[in-house]
Structure 1
Amino acid sequence: MATDDSVHPEARGLEVVIRTAPMPADANGNGDIFGGWILSHMDIAAGVLAAKRAQGRVATVAIDAMTFLKPVYIGDLLSIYGEVVGVGRTSIKVRLETWVERQRRRDGSLTARQSMRVTEGTFVMVAIDEEGRPRVVPEA
């Protein structure tokens, strides 16, 4: 699933779904942002895209792939980009990339702003009805 880091996701047609900044409470003792914090934001982003396509409620049923490529630090601006890559009878597959804009080195000193891909993953969501049972995804 690796992508070309020289081409920003928006240039490849991916939609920005979430943009946020990690805070000190989201970091471990070394100043790295917890992978679970990033994963939870990616899960939300997958849900946003899948719910739009499903025209209603969805739930996560699987994460087909998840790769942490580089650490995320306090002060990074985190952006999650995604696209729907598959639709089944009740399921929707969403591919996500997380990028950061980084202007500070780990020691806190300023550097030229850099944009880099830090994670990527593929989430499988299922469309659900009011009782939480799978339902058919409507035609696009």
Structure 2
Amino acid sequence: MNALDDLEDNPGPEGQLTLKVVAHPQATNLHGDIAASWVITQMEQAVELVAARLAKGRAATVAVTGMDFLCPVRTGSLVQIHTQLLETGTSSMRFQVEVWILPPNEKDPNSLYKVTEAHFVLVALDELGRIRSLPQH
């Protein structure tokens, strides 16, 4: 399967819109595109927001898997991070995190392009930074 097949198989974002941010010029790489590290930082911030709510306190990323970049992000793109809780354990939470963009100067607000996705695993932490159990819902 190539990147175009993936885009056609998944016509729109899955999960909850968690974070929206404009890609700014300070986040570019040597080639003038937004750096992958900046995109990953936005993904982690979004998933940590959701995980902290579920954990009712601190949460930390312990694993990130399955990340491929499908297209570059240009300066001025509206970057949208979507998160979806996949499963919980005693102290852990596994999420799918997707990044979609609306390129600059795009006239159709529904013309989103998928940039990447990954699975993030986070754990609940106590005030001393030790792993703790998730609260019962």
TM-score with structure 2 length normalisation? 0.87
Q: Relative to structure 2, which stretch is displaced further, 61-70 or 31-40?
A: 61-70
Q: CA deviation at 1:112?
A: 4.3
Matched residues in 1 for 2:46 and 2:23: separation? 16
Q: Does 1:44 pair with 2:41?
A: no
Say whether the 8 Å CA contact 2:95–2:119 is kept in structure 1: yes
Please name the residue that 1:88 is paired with.
89
Name the SS of the counterpart of 2:54 in structure 1.
Answer: helix
CA distance in 1, matches of 2:89, 2:103: 37
Quick one: which of 113, 117, 136 aligns to 1:116?
113
Give the number of equivalent residue pairs: 129
8 Å CA contact retained: 1:67, 1:120: yes
CA RMSD of aligned residues (A): 1.6
Amino acid of the structure 2 residue aligned with 1:29: L
The answer to whether the 8 A contact 1:68-1:119 is kept is yes
| Aligned residue number for residue 10 of structure 2 | 5
Residue ranges of structure 1 left out of the alignment (5+ in a row): 105-110
Q: Tell me how far apart the structure 1 counterparts of residues 78 and 45 of structure 2 sit (CA, whole Å).
A: 17
Structure-1 separation of matches of 2:52 and 2:113? 27
Write the distance in 2 (CA, Å) between the matches of 1:28 and 1:129: 37
Partner residue, 1:72: 73
Residues 101-112 of structure 1 aligned to structure 2 (within 5 Å)? 101-104=102-105, 112=107
Q: Where does structure 1 differ by over 4 angstroms across 4 or more consecutive aligned residues? A: none
Q: Distance in 1 between matches of 2:35 and 2:133?
A: 35
Distance in 2, matches of 1:36 and 1:30, equals: 14
- Encode CA deviations 1:8-65: one digit per residue, 9 max, x unaligned: 22xx5x1111100111110123221000000011011111111111111101111122
Map Cα deviations across residues 85-105 of structure 1 (whole Å, 9 max, x no partner). Answer: 11011111111110001144x
Secondary structure of the 2:84 match is strand
* Higher strand content, 1 or 2: 1
Calculate percent identity across the aligned residue pairs.
34
Aligned equivalents of 1:22, 1:57: Cα separation in 2: 27
**Cα distance in 1 for residues equivalent to 2:69 and 2:51:** 22
| Offset at residue 124 of structure 1 (A) | 0.5
Query: If the length of structure 1 is used for normalisation, what is the TM-score?
Result: 0.85
